[in-house]
Chain A
Amino acid sequence: NAGVTQTPKFRVLKTGQSMTLLCAQDMNHEYMYWYRQDPGMGLRLIHYSVGEGTTAKGEVPDGYNVSRLKKQNFLLGLESAAPSQTSVYFCASTQNRAHTEAFFGQGTRLTVV
């Protein structure tokens, strides 16, 4: 079992460029989440999904879109990157509800210049 895998691990974007971060889990988890981690601000929820074909907004969703076409994959898209989106992004999954252990990916360090 690989657990939760994020692709890519590092990326540098120019302002205005677009990109997609991929999160894949092989634990058959229903719930998946995208967080961003910034110094002094902890982990802030961007979007989450409670099952295949469903998505919902978290606390900082602006500038991001997500899709969950397959149960094992959760994609995070940046349509027009801005320097304020420079951050470390973590994907996580839980088995059924948010009341169980969250398993995190290794993180993606994104820099927007």
Chain B
Amino acid sequence: GENVEQHPSTLSVQEGDSAVIKCTYSDSASNYFPWYKQELGKRPQLIIDIRSNVGEKKDQRIAVTLNKTAKHFSLHITETQPEDSAVYFCAASNNNNDMRFGAGTRLTVKP
């Protein structure tokens, strides 16, 4: 089955700096790559996603890039703010109808 690896496990940045989180996947058939944000004690919520026919997608301060050849995708957050502090999960899914998550990255934005 699909295996998703996520790095780093923790990331600390200064407010206003950029943050980058990287994920790799194993199944070349995977074609949907969402990113979820989980604030402390709350449920994960989708912040951005990308499909395999697109190389990059941007939504205000967040962007995701996908390299299908290398089987990796990344989340980029620019101009970070304290409210960006959370755990971020990448995920990958294919036509087998399940979705596998990475282990998560705890992002801390220091004011």
Residues of A bordering B, CB below 8 Å: 31, 33, 35, 40-45, 48, 50, 56, 58-59, 90, 94, 97-102, 104-107
Contact = CB atoms under 8 A, between A and B. Distances in A.
B103 A98 contact: no
Contacts of A31: 97
Give the size range of B's interface with the partner: 20 to 34
A98 B98 contact: yes
Interface of B: 1, 6, 9, 31-32, 34, 36, 42-46, 49, 51, 89, 91, 93-104
A101 B100 contact: no
Contacts of A43: 44, 89, 91, 101, 104
B49 A98 contact: no
A33 B43 CA distance: 14
Contacts of B93: 98-99
B44 A90 contact: yes
A50 B97 contact: yes
A40 B97 contact: no
